[in-house]
Chains A and B, each alone.
Chain A
Amino acid sequence: MKTPNYRGPKGPGGMPHGKRKLSVPTLKRVIKMLFSYYPVLFPLALFCIVFAAFVATAPAIFNQRIIAIIEEALKENIGWDIASKEIIPNIIVLASLYVVSLAAVFTQTQLMAYITQGFLGKMRKTLFNGMQNLPIKYFDTNKHGDIMSHFTNDIDTLRQLVSQSIPSVLQAGIVVLTVFTIMLSYSIWITLVVLFGVFMLFLVTKKVGGGSAKYFMRQQKAIGKTEGFIQEMMNGQKVVKVFCHEDKTKKQFDEINDALCEDSKRAHAYANILGPINMNIGNILYVIIATVGGVLLLLKAPNLSLLQLFGVEMPLGISIVIPFLNMTKQFTGNVNQLSQQINSIVMGLAGAERVFEVMDALPETDDGYVTLVNAKKDENGNITETTERTGLWAWKHPHEDGTLTYTELRGDVRMVGVDFGYEEGKEVLHDVSVYAEPGQKVAFVGATGAGKTTITNLINRFYDIADGKIRYDGININKIKKSDLRRSLGIVLQETNLFTGTVMENIRYGRLDATDEDCIKAAKLSGADDFITRLPNGYDTELSNNGSNLSQGQRQLIAIARAAVADPPVMILDEATSSIDTRTEAIVQKGMDSLMKGRTVFVIAHRLSTVKNSDVIMVLDKGRIIERGSHEDLIAQKGQYYSLYTGAFELE
């Protein structure tokens, strides 16, 4: 995340990224969410996990009992008939425990599958909804790839966390504790040996695991670099071909690729080596326990156990040593499990934290209370509110004294002495004043970075400025509810974004309740109908990948139709026709003219031919309006506009 200022004030942040540490508040928050989403099922699943874990330790006890019985039978020469009377009940109890445990495991795994996916679904939705409420600034200052990775990578680590890490830590933790207690109750001496072994195991794992983490981090970096390079080259492949740069590119790629391979090899080697180490230390421990146990047996050493402390006779016999061997395996296995899962819990929590960051980011503030309503005029010219679509709109303005006033929506936009900067201390607009009367066409001309788009960003409140400097039909726009303000403004941007779906659906995006006829009418008005009807499936042609099957100009035409169907009183056209060739533009012009009729229109264009017929043209330079007036006025002024306009001809 590049914008720490977007973290909510009470957010779980505070932990610098990159440092791997277990974040307890985040863990708490995840678990709390799970409890609140699934108040019955989640505790039930937890109960099943705990239960199954307890049962999993039971075999050790029964093994020991049964073997003790067998031994005794052998020693005393008791036959099967008699011995079985003792053995079979034990086996039956064991079997029934297993059945119950199986039921618990089955319930738990099914529940966890259900809960995990349900939780992820809810997280996805919450994340998406949170994102929709973020201000444009968030999207301008964060890379799209970063935002996307919350939905892909971070949600994925959350899945790991909920479905695997939390249950296995719980389970392994319980097994470790139970086995440990049983071991102590059998023999404290042998338990100490086991503990020593586990300690060694822990040391080695930590060392190797640390190396693995280090190289995985490096591998991650190398992957990022490789992907960046690949992306750039795949996108620029045609440029590579035109410049015959293939060999050089290959060489560059080889270097990056080799470096990635090197880091990745190390990372995997460390990770892979952990398995054999854990297993063999486990094996060695097993052997040591067997040997130590054997030696103690042969020496007939006195036993010391917890049970003995409570007065139960616990002589050190084969019936203690053998179950101990199995318990050793179980103990080391689960300790390993714990140490591995801790790592993925840390990673999962880091992902969760990033998701929470977005969820906690400050949403776009909207204190507006002036709303846009359908209106009707009575005989006296008074405006009243109505529910039907009349084509007449009014601003409903509740006042502090409890009264309501209605102001007709006319499209009168005034900016007075606006200063603005995206970042503090870096002003991009200085003292800009614009007066657009209803029905006027106001054009902005100027170089890239002169501040043209910034002005429109302020009118539709993508960015906010200090109170009262922009007025819409006489109302301070900060008082107007953002969604209503934007509803009254139609925007067509230079960078056209269409959605996956049919052409018709894309046009209807402008007004969701528009009929097919409305959409076609809008398309005709904006000059898009002609090419749309020539598409293979006409208005039902599916667009995908931002309409990649259309030309840029065609996409712009659809975007114009989309704005037209909304039928807004004010329109902002930001280089809306820049990619339509002039000849097509000439054809479209007529439609555009009728589209603009009766509306206040702000036009930003590079081509002077597009703005020439505006009522007023503002020439912007470095955030200041340096000239304003009609085309004729400006030509007569012989200033910047004049030199721009004549620039092409003067050099002939």
Chain B
Amino acid sequence: MIKTLAKSIREYKLPSILTLIFIMGEVIIEVIIPFITANLVNDIKAGAPIESVIQTGLILIAMALVSLCCGGAAAITCSKASTGFAKNLRRDMFEKIQSFSFSNIDKFSATSLVTRLTTDITHVQMSYMMIIRTAIRSPMIFIFSIIMAYTMGGALAASFVVVIPVLLFGLLLIAKNAMPAFRRVFKKYDKLNESIEENVRAMRVVKGFSREEYEKQKFAAAADGITEDFTKAERIVALNTPIMQFCMYFNTVMILFLGSYLVIKSGGTDIDVGQISAMLTYGVQILMSLMMLSMIYVMITMSLESMRRICEVLNEEPNLKNPENPVLKVLDGSIKFNNVNFKYNKNAKRNALENINLEIKSGMTVGVIGGTGSSKSSLVQLIPRLYDVTDGEVLVGGVDVRDYDIKVLRDSVAMVLQKNQLFSGTIKENLRWGNENATDEELIEACKLAQADEFITSFTDGYDTYIEQGGTNVSGGQKQRLCIARALLKKPKILILDDSTSAVDTKTDAFIRKGFKEFIPNTTKIIIAQRIASVQDADMIIVMENGKIESIGTHNELMKLSEIYREVYEQQTNGGDNNENA
């Protein structure tokens, strides 16, 4: 895991190392300062000449300034290293996700990917900063202070032998108990927040059923549980301060007592008053460094989960690869399915598509109809190779889709997804996703064909109207038409509409189909629809049922052949009349 993450440090290795060096410099000076200060105090006490006192003072100030420089430099390099590392990590993850195939994407939900790219990375960034700043600092201060304490204080240092193990043990015990408690409560906390979000989203349902009081009670129960758990966890952590203070106090008392005894006994020769105060300072430093170490420990373990989640993405192998010698041209818009079986997941029991054999000639209009879950979408998603078949083959223009360069294939097969999306930006910018170099005339032409031009020009800003994130400022039907126009701009050989006119009224829908017939006769058009009217005039209609092709034919043929088709047709055209008679 560390190895995977460390790959993203790259050009920020230098600032990382520099940080360590600067901090070492800072620490060394920091540890020497009390030593020299002790000398200064002794000089003063011994009545040394003013010049030598001032001289030592100046040396000390110079040292503090050097330490300041080191510290400042470390602060800068460390920020550079940690934010840079986070940047690289985010970039690597984002790139990885861009290389994902549909089935990779299905594996992670969009929300989880967002969390991984934001919160999780922030956690890792903070940990990294903490590590390079304190991982070397605290142990160094600890070791140096101990050495200095022993060389200076001699017997006085005995106090540390008692205090350090006590503190270390105490801190570790707290960390060990607190962490699982926190992890548990955070999980619950996330759930609570999810249910709040659910409630906010479903406010109309809540109010519609007048369930406000019920929701309040439900929430109060959950919130009370969380409060209790949080309190437990926080109380464990709250032991940190008293334990730390206990050690500090114990140390002070010991040193004062032992110190005064030793000073007086030796008549001030073995150790002196200055050393007592230096020992007190070292005591604080040693204990503080231990405290920092335990904080790092907690922080790193807390971010382990984030690291794991990031690595999961970084280590995910995209399972669709470009072939080695790809075919770079799609000849025509003919499509052929040979004995195709398909399942989304290797371990799935049921095939999503079973034994599909199908031949579509270039330029045909094909309708696909079938109930929810009949695998209509699965069928068409195999054509631009959004997924790979499990068995059999899919041919486009006479060539197996797996032999094409993926970009070439997808540029020739335009697909308007069922769950489609516009991006924040102007309408023009959105349309140019289809073709970056499209001229304004081409844009308008495509929009006219998709019956979008009329409403676009009715906007004050026309084609420069800004689409909000998620396309919230256009209606569902308008969004669908913009998505169709965007796909048309690719000038594809095959155009697939996956239930893409469901929110468009029937008249406009008919206009769109009419336009297709007249203006792009050579493009193969595959239309998945709920409405019979949308597919009725197709050259060929496929009726799907439970992952299989139930029947294929023209409208008239199917009216005779397919019971399902007939049923749907009747429901949609005469259904109302029947009900009235009933």
Contacts and interface: CB of A to CB of B under 8 A. Distances in A.
Contact of B264 (A83, A147, A583): A83
A202 B41 CA distance: 27
Contact of B90 (A91, A128, A257): A257
Contacts of A144: 197, 200-201
B249 A98 contact: yes
A500 B95 CA distance: 34
B480 to A, nearest CB: 12
Q: 8 closest pairs, A vs B, by CB?
A: A276-B71, A612-B576, A121-B227, A291-B57, A497-B202, A294-B44, A272-B75, A647-B507
A486 B242 contact: no
B372 A551 contact: yes
A230 B423 CA distance: 12
Given A79-B264, A460-B208, A582-B531, A298 B50 contact: yes
Given A79-B264, A132-B216, A250-B95, A237 B47 contact: no
Interface residues of A, number: 162
Interface string B121-151: 0000000010001000000000000000000
Q: Which of B197, B238, B579 has the most CB of A within 10 A?
A: B238
A518 B19 CA distance: 69
24 contacts: A63-B280, A74-B264, A106-B242, A118-B231, A121-B224, A226-B90, A230-B118, A232-B424, A234-B117, A236-B423, A237-B113, A238-B386, A244-B410, A245-B433, A272-B76, A276-B26, A276-B67, A284-B64, A287-B64, A298-B44, A510-B209, A554-B372, A584-B371, A648-B509
Contacts of A80: 261, 264-265
B223 A128 contact: yes
Given A241-B102, A276-B68, A280-B65, A133 B50 contact: no
Given A238-B417, A612-B576, A483 B72 contact: no
B399 interface: no
A148 to B, nearest CB: 6
A483 B209 CA distance: 8
A497 B226 contact: no
Contacts of B234: 113-114, 116-117, 163
B273 A486 contact: no
B227 A120 contact: yes
Contact of A228 (B98, B237, B469): B469
A241 B421 CA distance: 12
B579 A613 contact: yes
B99 interface: yes
Interface residues of B, number: 167
A234 B117 CA distance: 10
B33 interface: yes
Given A121-B227, A606-B503, A499 B372 contact: no
Contacts of B242: 102, 105-106, 109
A237 B223 contact: no
Contacts, number: 447
B273 A322 contact: yes
Contact of B94 (A113, A250, A498): A250
A566 B209 contact: yes
Contacts of A553: 372
Interface stretch (B77-85, B300-308, B327-335, B356-364): B77-85
B365 to A, nearest CB: 14
B67 A509 contact: no
A277 interface: yes
A91 B577 contact: no
Interface string A561-599: 010001000000000000011111110010001000000
Contacts of B410: 241-244
Contacts of A238: 102, 105, 386, 417, 419
Given A283-B67, A321-B44, A462-B207, A118 B105 contact: no
B210 interface: yes
B568 interface: yes
Interface in A261-299: 261, 264-269, 272-273, 275-277, 279-280, 283-284, 286-288, 290-291, 293-295, 297-299
B329 to A, nearest CB: 16
Nearest to A482: B210
B155 interface: no
Interface in B384-401: 384, 386
A644 interface: yes
A521 interface: no
Contacts of B407: 244
A109 B215 CA distance: 34
B277 interface: yes
Contacts of A163: 234
Nearest to A71: B273
A148 B195 CA distance: 11
Contacts of A245: 433
B257 A139 contact: no
Interface string B504-525: 0111011100100000000000
B284 to A, nearest CB: 9
Given A77-B267, A106-B242, A586-B575, A288 B57 contact: yes
Interface string A49-79: 0000000000100110011011101100111
Given A70-B260, A238-B417, A272-B79, A147 B576 contact: no
A447 B575 CA distance: 22
Nearest to B257: A91
B485 to A, nearest CB: 13
Nearest to B376: A581
Contacts of A234: 97, 110-111, 113-114, 117
A247 B436 CA distance: 13
Interface stretch (B164-172, B443-451, B470-478): B470-478
Q: Which of A128, A136, A247, A649 has the most CB of B within 10 A?
A: A128
Given A80-B265, A280-B68, A120 B230 contact: yes
B263 interface: yes
Contact of A275 (B71, B97, B514, B576): B71
B45 A318 contact: yes
Contacts of A240: 98
A248 B434 CA distance: 12
A352 B581 CA distance: 63
A512 B214 contact: yes
